Amino acid sequence: MPKLRSSKRSSSSPSSAGGGGHQHKAQLRTASRRPKSQHKASVASSLSPSVDDAEEAEMLLLTPEERRARHNHNVVEKQYRNRLNVQFERLLAALPTAAEQKADGDGPYDMDGRARDSCAMVDEKRLSKAEVLDMATRRIKALEKGRRHLQQERAELLQNVDLISNSIGQNWLGRAG
């Protein structure tokens, strides 16, 4: 599944998509369309016909209706991949940067001081979709933990308010009587 670079899309960039306003330098990883080595490509092409030639030969054997159906399917698949990539970019844009995570106490170290997987914390890196999902999962878990802590703190404060209210009420009654 080829991955598209975010710089090629102007109308649906993550910053204009209404994310959290975070500007990651990280981008989604992209699939290379060129061979890693020209030497390997030239050796491979001399040993066997290229994939493009095989696809062209196969397309010639198809009827016009089959070609049209295949083309339409390819267009729909490409649109689907593009939508998925835009959503992953929006998710990445909604996640805090490493500096923001450090400021929030959600940095590269866990509660025991052990180093977390630091490869996902680097803002200049190209991130895979799996890394984006992993970062989002960790962020959601951290937010849920923070919410539980705040709920517990609220319950304790409400108990203290009740105790103080009762104490004041008893003092008031003691003075009146």
Kindly state the tokens that stand for 7.
């710089």
Task: Give the start-to-end residue ranges of the domains of the chain.
Answer: 6-176
Cα(105)–Cα(31) distance, rounded to whole angstroms? 34
What backbone torsions phi and psi does residue 107 show, to the nearest 5 degrees?
Answer: -85, -155
C-alpha 50, offset from chain centre: 35
Q: Contact, 31 vs 9, CB < 8 A?
A: no
The Cα 157–Cα 172 span in angstroms is 22
102 within 8 A of 142, measured Cβ to Cβ? no
Tens-of-pLDDT digits for all 177 residues of the chain? 444 444 444 344 444 444 455 566 778 877 655 555 554 545 445 555 566 788 778 878 889 999 999 999 999 999 999 999 999 999 999 999 877 777 766 554 454 444 454 444 445 688 999 999 999 999 999 999 999 999 999 999 999 999 999 888 787 777 765
